[in-house]
Chain A
Amino acid sequence: GAGVSQTPSNKVTEKGKYVELRCDPISGHTALYWYRQSLGQGPEFLIYFQGTGAADDSGLPNDRFFAVRPEGSVSTLKIQRTERGDSAVYLCASSLTLDSRDEQFFGPGTRLTVL
């Protein structure tokens, strides 16, 4: 079946603008994760959803970042008043259950560039 998809694949925006990044998880996966990967670094956890609710948003860097998953499937990561430091690849992953042993399946990522 289809894997995790993310749109857009690339997003270039200007400092101060608002952006939305979308993630379509694997159908039936309960858990959905967002990570951010800066150049030369490993992915860094941002937020995780169990169904529709954000179970852990401790990784969001500040209140400019917000994510939703209103119907328990597709998720949108929203960034307000973008800054150059927000430039990174934003990764989405999903897993079948909440079990910490479950494999997380990653999407291709959205490369965000803030000019």
Chain B
Amino acid sequence: AQSVSQHNHHVILSEAASLELGCNYSYGGTVNLFWYVQYPGQHLQLLLKYFSGDPLVKGIKGFEAEFIKSKFSFNLRKPSVQWSDTAEYFCAVNLGSSNTGKLIFGQGTTLQVKP
């Protein structure tokens, strides 16, 4: 069965620090990759996604992620975090060849940015 692992469960950074959140998945076929964010008191929203092409994808609010097929990874990055980035971040995948968007999520990473 497919699975997604997020190795950092809780990350604490100061403002302006750089961020990298790890995400690894287990599936040998074609996948679509997503990062979702949940700000305090809000619902899940899409941060960025990767289907094919350039493995470096840019999303909203200065976030980017890099797909490394050989490592089955899709790490999220941001050069300089802000206090408003405090949130929970979820990596998710679905099967690129299927006719369903059924998402498999990682367990999430809580990011706390200190002002």
Give residues in A with beta carbon < 8 Å to B: 3-4, 31, 33, 35, 40-45, 48, 55-56, 59, 91, 93, 95, 98-104, 106-109
Indicate whether A104 sits within 8 Å of B43 (C-beta atoms), given known contacts A42-B90, A43-B90: no
Contact B101 A102 (CB under 8 A): yes
Indicate whether A91 sits within 8 Å of B100 (C-beta atoms), given known contacts A42-B106, A43-B90, A100-B94: no
Q: Say what secondary structure dominates the interface of chain A.
A: loop
Contact A55 B100 (CB under 8 A): yes
> Does B45 have its Cβ within 8 Å of any Cβ on chain A?
yes
Give residues in B with beta carbon < 8 Å to A: 4, 6, 32, 36, 42-46, 49, 51, 90, 92, 94-108
Contact A42 B105 (CB under 8 A): yes
Contact B43 A100 (CB under 8 A): no
Counting from the closest, the 8 A-B pairs by CB-CB distance are A42-B105, A106-B44, A108-B43, A43-B105, A106-B43, A100-B94, A100-B101, A42-B107
Contacting residues, chain A, for B99 (C-beta < 8 A): 98-100
Contacting residues, chain A, for B42 (C-beta < 8 A): 108
Among B44, B97, B107, max chain A CB count under 10 A is at B44
Contact A31 B101 (CB under 8 A): yes
Contacting residues, chain B, for A56 (C-beta < 8 A): 100, 102
Contact A101 B49 (CB under 8 A): yes
Indicate whether A100 sits within 8 Å of B32 (C-beta atoms), given known contacts A56-B100, A56-B102, A106-B44: yes
Contact B43 A33 (CB under 8 A): no
Contact B103 A101 (CB under 8 A): no
**Chain A minimum-CB-distance residue to B92:** A42
Closest-CB distance, A91 to chain B (whole angstroms): 7
